[in-house]
């Protein structure tokens, strides 16, 4: 969940001619021959979590906080095809107990997006469809076997995204998107492990794949973009956290989350945009009920 949340909050780019955002699961495209560079800061914390379906707190960790700084770049190859990448540096901490947080470079995530089609505008608006692919690989030798303070899953991932968009003739828009993520095996620094009622005499952990759905509505004006998104994640397999135990890397991490953000493109300098956002987990399974805040700045270079 941590790796995917950072990816969702930070993998965005400013379009050169508007205050639109570009991400793998939205409707915006970077203009042709436009390079975007930026950096985001994210702060995520929780003091209650779901142990399976049981919501509880834990005095051994208190409040778990995850912070990240994420440089990113994006480029509009053509008017219909763009690429982007983000590489977070992450550090974690717990407010109580004896566990010490971890820090380090997490996963390099790259994405490519293609606009399949756009209908002719009607009196109400126009429909568009987009395909995107993302891939992530760990960029440091961090451990995934120290949840909830690990900085990621330490495994490779690849995902396909389909997004449908309706842009009205006024400022409002709506998106519906779905994604399927394939997850590679994870290697532990021990020769056996116990999870989901079974003992495994190996250091290789088979990770379940993941399905995501998202619904977005918002407004997109000359200098403002304000979307509100409901996200649902379902893990296709995995076990639950055992009573009074720590999470395991292949557990079932399910959640429903509400995201909101505001992006504003400055008049001077005209190619700079500022973005702030927030996300809150409404319910879940084996995840913390976290609240995350992000802020960032982006600059567009035209070639």
Instruction: Give pLDDT tens digits for 43-56.
Output: 999 999 999 999 99
Confidence of residue 270 (pLDDT cuts 50, 70, 90): confident
Q: Which pLDDT score is estimated for 13?
A: 36
Q: Answer yes or no: is pLDDT of 190 > 50.
A: yes
Nearest Cα to Cα of residue 104 among 92, 89, 93, 94: 89
Residue 19: per-residue pLDDT: 32
User: Contact at 8 Å (CB) between 246 and 229?
Assistant: no
Read off the pLDDT band of 189 (50, 70, 90): very high
In this predicted structure, what is the pLDDT of residue 303? 83
- The answer, yes or no, to whether residue 10 has pLDDT greater than 50, is no
Q: What is the mean pLDDT of residues 179-202?
A: 95
CA distances from 24 to 130, 201, 246 (A): 9, 38, 32
Mean pLDDT within 122-134: 93
Domain 2-302 fold is Porin (2.40.160)
Q: What is the DSSP letter of 14?
A: E
CB 281, CB 255: distance < 8 Å: yes
CA distances from 170 to 126, 174, 222, 264 (A): 11, 12, 12, 18
95 CB-near residues (< 8 Å, 6+ apart): 47, 61, 62, 63, 64, 65
133/131 Cα distance (integer angstroms): 7
Q: What does the alpha-carbon distance between residue 292 and residue 289 come to, in Å, rounded to a whole number?
A: 10
Distance CA 71, CA 105 (A): 11
Structure confidence at residue 18 (pLDDT):
35
Name residues whose C-beta falls within 8 Å of residue 5's C-beta, 6 or more positions apart in sequence: 44, 257, 279, 290, 292
Judged by average pLDDT, the poorest of 12-21, 160-169, 263-272 is: 12-21
């Amino acid at each position: 969940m941590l790796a995917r949340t950072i990816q969702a909050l930070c993998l965005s780019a400013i379009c050169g001619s508007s205050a639109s955002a570009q991400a793998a699961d939205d409707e915006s495209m970077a203009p042709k021959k436009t390079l975007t560079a930026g950096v985001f800061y994210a702060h995520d914390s929780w003091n209650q979590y779901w142990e399976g379906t049981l919501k509880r707190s834990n005095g051994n960790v208190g409040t778990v906080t995850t912070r990240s700084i994420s440089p990113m770049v994006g480029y509009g190859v053509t008017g219909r095809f763009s690429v982007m990448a983000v590489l977070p540096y992450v550090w974690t901490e717990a407010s109580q107990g004896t566990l010490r947080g971890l820090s380090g470079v997490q996963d390099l995530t790259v994405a490519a997006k293609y606009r399949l089609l756009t209908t002719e505008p009607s009196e109400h608006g126009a429909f568009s469809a987009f395909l995107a692919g993302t891939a992530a690989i760990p960029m440091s030798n961090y451990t995934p076997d120290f949840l909830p303070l690990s900085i990621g899953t330490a495994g490779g991932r690849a995902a396909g995204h389909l997004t449908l968009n309706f842009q009205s003739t006024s400022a409002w828009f709506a998106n519906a998107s779905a994604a399927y993520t394939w997850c590679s095996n994870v290697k532990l620094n021990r020769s056996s492990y116990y999870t989901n009622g079974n003992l495994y005499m190996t250091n290789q952990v088979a990770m379940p794949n993941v399905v995501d759905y998202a619904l977005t509505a918002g407004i997109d004006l000359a200098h403002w973009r304000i979307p509100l998104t409901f996200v649902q994640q379902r893990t296709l397999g995995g076990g639950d956290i055992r009573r009074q135990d720590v999470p395991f890397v292949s557990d079932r991490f399910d959640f429903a989350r509400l995201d909101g953000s505001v992006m504003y493109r400055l008049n001077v300098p005209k190619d700079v945009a500022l973005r702030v956002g927030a996300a809150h987990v409404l319910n879940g399974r084996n995840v913390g009920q976290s609240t995350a805040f992000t802020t960032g700045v982006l600059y567009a270079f035209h070639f």
